[in-house]
Structure 1
Amino acid sequence: MDQKIKRRSLLGGLGVAAAGLFALKAAPVVQEKIETLAAPAEPEGTGYRLTEHVKKYYRTTTI
């Protein structure tokens, strides 16, 4: 019975180590995706853009 407990502990430890390695490997990818989602994409072209300056102007025109 003692041998089974050691084997289970070893396999459990290997599973935890594998999960830790996977998390370390996936962390940069996840961080990159978070940064991509956090930064809004700038629209292409030279047309109208709703900037802070324009928003301030709209706030001053409200009655």
Structure 2
Amino acid sequence: MQNRQPPDHHPSPARRSFLRGAATAGAAAAAVVALPHAVPAPDATPPEPARGAPEGGGGYHLSAHVRQYYETTRV
């Protein structure tokens, strides 16, 4: 009986290319999914200009950002 040792298991170049391509496609798909959320809609209202700190302290004011948050919490 011959003493056979299994060959070293190295992925073939074709398999490596496939895996590299699959990883690239996955990253590209993730970027495409995230992109529409990063770009503001053309009909979006422009942000309000930044305000300085009030003289009497405090600092809370009802801004568009706060109003939108309140809208998301309505039950």
TM (norm. structure 1) is 0.41
Choose 1 or 2 for highest CA Rg.
2
